[in-house]
Amino acid sequence: MVVNRIEQKCIQKGLRMTEQRKVIAQVLSSSHDHPDAEKLYRRSNAINNSISLATIYRTLKLFSNNGILEKHEFKDGKSRYETVYKDHHDHLIDIETGKVIEFQDEEIEKLQEKIANKLGYNIINHRLEIYAVKKNK
């Protein structure tokens, strides 16, 4: 199996590459949506059924802590994950389908900096999510 992008990052970070992590890395690399733990479990388990849900959670946390994944908590109860090899972006969530659209807007970023600054704060992180429905239906 060709070493995928996420596995590369793991090696680079010095993480021990177990069979399970390789599979999870592979699944994440080929997932272009924003899957939750359960979905990742099902996808991974289909490849290697010796992968438990506990390991999925432990691995997701490990990858997040190492900046390999980003964890999002949209308003649907469960956390969802996304690989980070893109530039920073925010999310628009289609509340009818659950589909996530990524967008970025430099102006909004700058405005946030300005606001925090005015309030006497330095931004560590932010979350901007737009919940919306398709037009013209």
Partner DNA sequence: TTATATGCAAAACATTTGCACTTGA
Partner DNA sequence: TCAAGTGCAAATGTTTTGCATATAA
Where does this chain bind a second copy (CB under 8 A)?
73, 75, 92, 94-95, 101, 103, 105, 107-108, 111-112, 115-117, 119-136
Residue choice 1, 16, 107, 136 for contact with DNA (CB under 7 A): 16
Task: Give the 3-state secondary structure of residue 135.
Answer: coil
Check if the beta carbon of residue 99 is closer than 8 Å to that of residue 80.
no
The amino acid at 109: E
The amino acid at 26: Q
Q: Beta strand 90-94 with 80-83: parallel, antiparallel or unpaired?
A: unpaired
Min dist. Cβ of residue 31 to a second copy (A):
22
Residue choice 8, 30, 52, 117 for contact with DNA (CB under 7 A): 52
Q: Decide: is 37 part of the binding site for DNA (CB under 7 A).
A: yes
